[in-house]
Amino acid sequence: MRLLKTVCLLFASGLLLTSCKSEPKKEMAVVDNSSIYIKGTIEAELTSPPFVPAPVGNRTAKKLLIDMEILEKEGTMTDGVQYVYWTFGGSVPGSFIRARVGDEIEFTLSNHPDNKLPHNIDMHAVTGPGGGATSSFVAPGHKKTFSFKALNPGLFVYHCATAPVGMHIANGMYGLILIEPEGGLPKVDKEYYIMQGDFYTKGATDEKGLQAFDMTKAIKEDADYVVFNGKVGALTGDNAITANVGETVRLFVGNGGPNLTSSFHVIGEIFDKVHIEGGSMINENVQTTSIPSGGAAIVEFKVEVPGTFIIVDHAIFRAFNKGALGMLKVTGEENKKLYSGVKQEGIYHPEGGTIQTMPNNDKKKVAVSNVEKPLAKKIADGKQLYMTTCFACHQAEGQGIPNAFPPLAKSDYLNADVKRAVGIVLNGKTGEITVNGNKYNSVMTKQTLSEEEVADVLTYVYNSWGNNKTNVSVNTVKEVKSSH
């Protein structure tokens, strides 16, 4: 009996030890997307929002040719308010691009001859310096071509990255590129393209007329408009996106910024799936998803009852007071088991831009400094400013860009009148000028610099590249400023 017990214990122990042994690890196959074979060449289908190109499906990887034109054009921000947008492909956001993992993408960026400024493109789907920005800087009337391999699936933002980068993005220079996984995305019934952006105007919200961009408001992140697809009402009324009861809807949602994070929400719907930050991880049963500036998300849901579903940034004053509001109109049979309440069309209407505040008697205090720096310090500080604010148009050695932006090196125009130069930096300049015998008709944007910074950067310019070595004083800048 004792022997039998011993045998049983040993047998049980063996089973226990066997069961505790870990299963051999299964090695996951590593896919090298950089080596995916390319077969054939096709031209990309580009679409303006809210529409998207046809799905990639099961097609093989190809050389994908993309030709996109930059256009600076006047458009409508809201009723009675005009704005000059800078666009990729003529729309805000720019044209939607659809590709697949393994595609070799050959991208040609053209800057229309009538444009005033240089531009480039930074594509978050690119593995390479600047996301392509370093290879695509292009002056008006010129075009640049570069290529890249699509390595990672996902929904990616692209935007202009020409200095001042924030200004270019704030004027509408952003869009989305979708890199589908091998085999494509699962089929849905409807797909749409929505992208949020914040805009900053000289006039107050809803102030009529042609409004200019306001850098000071942009730096303070004090947006006058927060909108979907470039304008108030781009997705409302006759412009609303549509679906039928029982259909599945996929929204490709981006946030161009340049500043604000979007709290994306569809009132009366729950997202069945959210591709978090546009990537491969999927969250389910989501009410509101956060989309950072320069980020994206893919949201999917099934529409099961009819009605008008309101699309908002749930930072709710943006929706009802600044324009971040759209509509999904769903038609079909009612289902009282799912929803039996009374519908009221138009309950979610914008409330306008009027600002209501409590009285405030606080007085602002402004500190003023009149200290003049040594010349060497001014030149050093001025050089740093030049490389962050002036470099893109006037280049590292002040040589400018032929037929687009005048040289600052040995410039007869610059050296002839220091106060005129100060005024241009303070107030900007449009219209034709002649520099060293050549005519230029571009735009010098107004620079949001302090009086000391204006003095510094101009002192650096005047003391570089064969110019007349003027030391521009803060008092000179003040004098010019007071005369305007």
Which among 263, 338, 341, 272 has a CA at the least distance from the CA of 300? 272
Q: What does the alpha-carbon distance between residue 456 and residue 445 come to, in Å, rounded to a whole number?
A: 18
Residue 314, marked binder: yes
Q: Which helix (H) or strand (E) holds 169?
A: helix 165-170
Residue 425 bridge partners (DSSP)? none
Structure tokens at 446: 């107004």
Residue 159, marked binder: yes
77, HSE (Cβ side, Cα atoms, 13 Å): 31
Q: What does the alpha-carbon distance between residue 418 and residue 422 come to, in Å, rounded to a whole number?
A: 6
DSSP code per residue over 183-230:
T-SPP-SEEEEEEEEEE-BSSPTT--EEEPB-HHHHHHT--SEEEETT
Residue 119, marked binder: yes
Which among 317, 190, 308 has a CA at the least distance from the CA of 248? 190
- For 36, other C-beta atoms within 10 Å of its C-beta total 19
307-313 sheet: strands from edge to edge: 241-244, 325-331, 307-313, 262-267, 288-291
Which among 457, 455, 439 has a CA at the least distance from the CA of 400? 439
Angle at 214 between CA 111 and CA 326, to 5 degrees: 80
Residue 8, marked binder: no
Q: What does the alpha-carbon distance between residue 269 and residue 306 come to, in Å, rounded to a whole number?
A: 11
Residue 124, marked binder: yes
Q: What does the alpha-carbon distance between residue 383 and residue 371 come to, in Å, rounded to a whole number?
A: 19
Annotated binding site: 119, 124, 159-160, 168, 173, 314
Annotated binding site for Cu cation: 119, 124, 159-160, 168, 173, 314
